Amino acid sequence: MMDGAADFETDASWRVGVDSGGTFTDVCMFNEASGEIAIWKVSSTPDDPSRGIAQGVEEGMRERAGGGADPASAIAYLGHGTTVATNALITHRGARVGLLTTEGFRDLLEIGRQKRPDLYDLFAEKPQTLVPRDLRFELPERMLHTGEVLKPLDEAAVRKAAQALKAAGVEAVAICFLYAFVNPEHERIARRIVEEELPDAFICASHEIAPEFREFERLSTATVNAYLGPIMHRYISRLSPRLKDLGLPIPPHLTQSNGGVVRFETAALTPVRAVLSGPSTGVVAAQVIGSSAGYDDIITFDMGGTSSDVALMAAGQTTQTNESIVHGYPIKAPMLDIHTVGAGGGSIAAIDSGGLLKVGPESAGADPGPVCYGRGATEPTVTDANIVLQVLNPTHLLDGRMDVRRDLAVEALGRMADQLGMDTMDVAQGIISVVTANMAKAIRVISVQRGHDPRGYALMAFGGAGPLHAVRLAQELGMARVIIPRTPGTLCAMGLLLTDLRADFSSTRILPLEEASLAPIAEALREVEEETGAWFEKEAIAESKRRSTRRIDMRYEGQNYELSIPVPDGPLDAAALKLLEERFTEAHTRLYGFAVEGERILCVTFRAEALGLVQKAALPERPLGAADASGAITGSRDVWYPETRAFTKTTLYARDRLAPGMSFEGPAIVEQMDTTTLVPPGVRVSVDKIENLILEVTR
C-alpha cells in the first residue's frame, strides 16, 4: 500500500504534497531526516474535496506512524494542488458576478476580439459569458493612455450600481476601467465604495490582478478571478479547519499555474492564478527528474481520470506564458505552457450521430466512475476497455485496495459492439486507439505547431493512466523513448515537494529601447522589483533564500505580440540595453526566422519573478546492478494485443522489486500501487540510477 520501507520516526520532519484530482487524491511524503519517500492514494470526494484531502493526509501519516497519535504534528511543510478552480470554470459553477466598467464598454466581454473559436466551424460556440448583461454596469469616468484624468469618476453612480448589484444577490464584483493599468485611482475609489455597500462580496479590481495593457484580456482576467473567488474562498475555508483539526503545526500552501506555491490566504485572493494548479507541479517534477536522468528535451504526458495534460521542455526549461486561453477564457497570468485535452481513464466512450466511435470529453469521474467499479455506471470508459483487454488487472486495482468487475465492463462493451456490428475486443481496442489519437493531437499542438519535432524528444509519462498508454502514444508520434518515473501516479503530488514559493509581478509602460529612455526603463524595472521585495517581507522569507529575475516583453514597433526577454543582472546601463537588443533579435530570429535590422524596438511590459527557496525532496541515486530482472516477476496473465488480435501470455513485474540496472523485454506489464505500465511486444525496458523505467520503443 505504501512505497518505502523505513519506519516512521517520531522526531522526523515530513514534507507532504497533496494533489486533489477528479478521481483520486494523491499524497506524497518526504522524510527530511531519512530521505524516505512514501506515497498514499484515496478516492476524491467531489461533493467536498477538502474531505478527501484531509483523509489522504491522515491515512498516509498514520500508516507511516504505525497508529501513533497526532501524526500530522510531524509535518514540517504541506503543499497542495487542486482542480477546484479549473472544474468550476469548466462546468460554469462559479459565483454570481457583477461588473463595473467604463462607460461604453459594457459589452466588451461578449465582443472580445471578434475572433471565431474555430475559423472553419460554422457551428462553433463561444464560451458562456460569465457576467449576464443585466449585471454589467457602465460608469461615467475616463482615463487617458497617459494616466491623465479626462473625466472624473462619478462616485454617486458607483454607489448606485453597487446597491443594484447587492439587490441582485451577487457574490462577487469585478471592476475594470479603461487604462487602469496606467493610473488605477478610479478603480481604487470604486473598490472602496463597493466594499462599503457589499462588505461580504469578493471584489477584484483589474489593476490588482493584471496591471497590463490589452483591455479585453485584462477584463476577462478580472472577471474570471471574481467568478472563482467565492468558490476558492469556500474551499479553503473548509479545508483549513480540517487540516488544523489534524494537528497540522504549519500554514499550508497551494500551488499556482506558474508551478510555484503561495500561502492559502494569498491563493484565496488570486484564484485565477490557480486554474492550472494541479498539472503544473507534475511538470515541475518532470523537469527535475528529466534533468537528473540526463534528458533535457522532454514532452510530459500526464493522464489522469478526467483529462490529459501535456507540456514541452526544451534544453531543460519548461515553456512559460504570460497570457493563455483556459477553457475559452483569456487569462493574463504567468503559467506553465500546458495544453489540456478531455482524455482520461474515466473518459466515456459513445457512438455519435454518424455511427462512429468517440471517446470523451465527458468523464465518469470518481462517482459513479467506470462501469467496472460496480457503482451503477452503464457507459463504458477507457478504464473499462483496459480491464476488458486485461491490460489492467481484471480483479482489483491499487494493490488490492479496490475491487473491480470485468464482467460488467465486458457486458457494457458488448452492448456497444452489437450496435457497431463489431467484436467486443475490437471495440475495446478501438477505444484505446481513439483516445490515443486525441492525446497525440494535443502533443502536436505544443510541439509540431510550435516548430518542435516530437521525434527528437523523450516522452515522460505520469498520472494514474499515463504509463498505461505511453508506448502506444509514442508509437503514434514516432517517438523512440519513454520515461516512467518512480511514482508516476502521484508525480503531481511529488512536484509539490520539488518547487519553491513563487510570485510574479508586472507593469505595462510602452517605451522605446533607446538610451534616451534609459531612466524610465530603469524606473519601470525598479517598481516591479520593489513589489518583489514587499512580497519577500510579507512571506517572511530569509535573505539567503531570496531569488529574483527580471524580464521585459519586447516587440518591433507596429507588431501586436511580444517576446519576453531576460534582463541582464546588475545595473541597467547602455551596455545592458545593447544586450537586450541582441537577445531580442536572437529570440525573434529563432521564433519567426528573421530579424529587421534598424527597426525600432519597444519595451512593453516589465516583469519580475520572486522565488523563495525551500528545502526540497532529494532524488536518491542507486548504483546500477545486474541486468537480470527475474526476481521482480510476480506471475503472468493473458493480455489482448492489436498486433496479434489475440490474447498473449504476458509477464508481470512488481515495480518495487525492479532495481537499477535491471532490464527486460515485452510483452510485459509492470504493476505498482499508483499505476500500471504496459510494455508491448518489441519494447525493451531498463531501470536507471534514480529508478526510472526507460522504454526503448520500436517505431
pLDDT tens, position by position, 9-29: 334 478 888 888 766 788 888
Residue 674 lies in a domain: no
- 96 and 222: one domain? yes
- 20 and 134: one domain? no
Q: Identify the pLDDT of residue 4.
A: 37
Residue 26 lies in a domain: yes
| pLDDT tens readout for residues 354-371 | 888 988 888 887 778 899
- 158 and 224: one domain? yes
* Tally of domains in the chain: 4
| pLDDT tens readout for residues 416-470 | 999 999 999 999 999 999 999 999 999 998 888 877 899 999 999 998 899 999 9
Mean pLDDT taken over the chain = 89
- 70 and 109: one domain? no
Q: Give the contacts of 299 (CB within 8 A, at least 6 positions apart).
A: 310, 311, 312, 313, 443, 446, 447, 454, 457, 458, 459, 460, 479
Rounded average pLDDT over 131-137: 97
- 407 and 534: one domain? no
From the number of C-beta atoms within 10 Å of its C-beta (0-12, 13-18, 19+), residue 451 rates as exposed
**Domain end marker among 414, 434, 454:** 434
Q: Identify the pLDDT of residue 411.
A: 94
- 52 and 111: one domain? no
Judge whether residue 698 has pLDDT over 80.
Answer: no
Rounded average pLDDT over 551-575: 93
Q: What is the pTM of this model?
A: 0.81
Residue 173 lies in a domain: yes
Cell of 463: 498520472
Determine phi and psi for 26, rounding to 5 degrees.
-105, 140
Task: Quote the CA–CA distance of 615 and 387 in Å, as a whole number.
Answer: 41
From the number of C-beta atoms within 10 Å of its C-beta (0-12, 13-18, 19+), residue 675 rates as buried
- 120 and 209: one domain? yes
Q: Give the contacts of 155 (CB within 8 A, at least 6 positions apart).
A: 189, 193
Q: Identify the pLDDT of residue 2.
A: 39
Task: Quote the CA–CA distance of 203 and 105 in Å, as a whole number.
Answer: 19
Give the residue among 459, 466, 470, 562 at the shortest CA–CA distance from 513.
Answer: 562
Strand order in the sheet with 633-641: 633-641, 646-654, 668-672, 675-679
- 520: containing domain: 501-612
Q: Identify the pLDDT of residue 220.
A: 96
Residue 211 lies in a domain: yes
Detail the DSSP E strand segments found in 189-316.
202-205, 253-255, 261-263, 298-303, 308-314
| pLDDT tens readout for residues 238-269 | 999 988 888 888 888 888 888 888 888 888 89
β-pairing verdict for 329-331 and 308-314? unpaired
- Tell me what percent of the residues of the chain surpass a pLDDT of 70: 96
Residue 651 lies in a domain: no
At 168, the amino acid letter reads: A
> Nearest 5°: CA angle at 314, between 679 and 333?
110
Residue 672 lies in a domain: no
Q: Identify the pLDDT of residue 29.
A: 84
Q: Identify the pLDDT of residue 70.
A: 66
| pLDDT tens readout for residues 471-527 | 999 999 999 999 999 888 778 788 888 888 888 999 999 999 999 999 999 999 999
| 232 in Cβ contact with 224 (< 8 Å) | no
Integer angstrom CA distances of residue 593 from 289, 507, 564, 582: 32, 29, 17, 15
Give the single-character DSSP code of 381.
B
| pLDDT tens readout for residues 155-170 | 999 999 999 999 999 9
Q: Identify the pLDDT of residue 554.
A: 97
Rounded average pLDDT over 217-227: 96
**Domain end marker among 210, 229, 248:** 229
**Domain end marker among 395, 410, 434:** 434
Residue 517 lies in a domain: yes
- 518 and 574: one domain? yes
| pLDDT tens readout for residues 309-322 | 899 998 888 878 88
Residue 366 lies in a domain: yes
| pLDDT tens readout for residues 645-686 | 899 999 999 999 999 999 999 899 999 988 899 999 999 999
Give the residue among 434, 487, 429 at the shortest CA–CA distance from 461.
Answer: 487
Q: Identify the pLDDT of residue 345.
A: 87
- 23 and 60: one domain? yes
Task: Quote the CA–CA distance of 86 and 181 in Å, as a whole number.
Answer: 26
- Tell me what percent of the residues of the chain surpass a pLDDT of 90: 57
| pLDDT tens readout for residues 433-444 | 999 999 999 999
CA dihedral 246, 252, 256, 259 (to 10 degrees): -100
Q: Identify the pLDDT of residue 37.
A: 77
* Domain containing residue 23: CATH number: 3.30.420.40
Tell which wins on pLDDT, 99 or 400: 99
Integer angstrom CA distances of residue 528 from 300, 506, 556: 32, 6, 23
Q: Identify the pLDDT of residue 1.
A: 35
Tell me the three state secondary structure of residue 422.
coil
| pLDDT tens readout for residues 603-616 | 999 999 999 887 77
Q: Identify the pLDDT of residue 69.
A: 54
Give the residue among 310, 316, 237 at the shortest CA–CA distance from 276.
Answer: 310
| pLDDT tens readout for residues 191-219 | 999 999 999 999 999 999 999 999 999 99
Give the residue among 6, 62, 9, 66 at the shortest CA–CA distance from 36.
Answer: 6
Task: Quote the CA–CA distance of 582 and 124 in Å, as a whole number.
Answer: 42
Q: Identify the pLDDT of residue 13.
A: 77
Give the residue among 589, 560, 587, 565 at the shortest CA–CA distance from 577.
Answer: 565
- pLDDT band (50, 70, 90) for residue 144: very high
- 54 and 152: one domain? no
Which region, left, alpha or beta, applies to residue 615 given φ > 0 means left and ψ of -120 to 50 means alpha?
Answer: beta
From the number of C-beta atoms within 10 Å of its C-beta (0-12, 13-18, 19+), residue 582 rates as exposed
Give the residue among 509, 513, 522, 508 at the shortest CA–CA distance from 602.
Answer: 513
| 172 in Cβ contact with 201 (< 8 Å) | yes
* H, E, C per residue of 402-418: EECCHHHHHHHHHHHHH
Q: Identify the pLDDT of residue 11.
A: 45
Match 525492479 to its residue by C-alpha cell.
658
| pLDDT tens readout for residues 48-100 | 888 888 888 888 887 765 445 566 778 888 888 887 888 788 778 899 999 99
Tell which wins on pLDDT, 499 or 181: 181
| 604 in Cβ contact with 510 (< 8 Å) | yes
- 65 and 129: one domain? no
- 101 and 215: one domain? yes
Judge whether residue 35 has pLDDT over 50.
Answer: yes
Tell which wins on pLDDT, 31 or 576: 576
Task: Quote the CA–CA distance of 453 and 299 in Å, as a whole number.
Answer: 11
Tell me the three state secondary structure of residue 122.
coil
